[in-house]
Amino acid sequence: MKNPVKETLRKAARLLGYRISRIHPPESPSEKPPDFVALRERYGEMFRERGIDKAHYGCGPVRFGEGWVNIDRSGGEMPPPQVLIGVDLSGEQPFPSDFFRFSFSEDFLEHLDQAGAIAFLYEAHRTLRPGGVLRLSFPGLRGILRKHYLSNDFESVRAGREGAYVQHVHKHLFCEESLSIVASHIGFSKIEFVEYGKSIHDELRNLEFREGQKQTNIYAELTK
């Protein structure tokens, strides 16, 4: 049934020399989500072919060689035996489940907000094989408070924010207790706090590069 009001408006418009037409908004482009099943199969096959069983998360300019996959937001070509893959580590990872023997991250976790950091830890847990170990090095909340928040006046608070967060684009800082709560909830079976460069695992020993941050950083090994 025709709407009499609309018909009256159309007739009036025609008398005035106009035509009323419906305009359909353009469809917003939608990016097809990645096929993680296919990606995980492809990467798993490639890693097995190249003998890769260790993941270096948030590698930045520091790249590990044989046996490691280096992972950062920006990927790229690297000379063998280095492998570099670009991944947004605050989201789902395209790597197979129960795969890596070891994984490592230095001064990366603090650049994620809390939700992103929890997502990263979930995915790092998923991609480790049972008994696999994730080693983390990152500025801890206690060390940052001691270093940057020196008094109770707001000038100190302002300086602390600038030195601890703004200058280095830090978004969230774990302490030992908060990391333990999250890691236990995710399903890590063991949470150990260790020293700079030291580990019972040969593959995780002497990986850190930033010795000057020993007074502020937390060093942890999480076992799946």
Confidence of residue 153 (pLDDT cuts 50, 70, 90): very high
Query: Binning pLDDT at 50, 70 and 90, where does residue 32 land?
Result: low
- What is the band of 23 on the pLDDT scale with cuts at 50, 70, 90? very low
Q: Both tokens of residue 125?
A: 């847990």
State mean pLDDT over 200-212: 96
Contact 125, 99 (CB under 8 A): no
Measure the CA–CA gap between 116 and 36, rounded to whole angstroms: 19
Question: What is the set of domains in the chain, with CATH numbers?
Answer: 51-223 (3.40.50.150)
Asked if residues 68 and 51 have their Cβ atoms less than 8 Å apart, the reply is: no
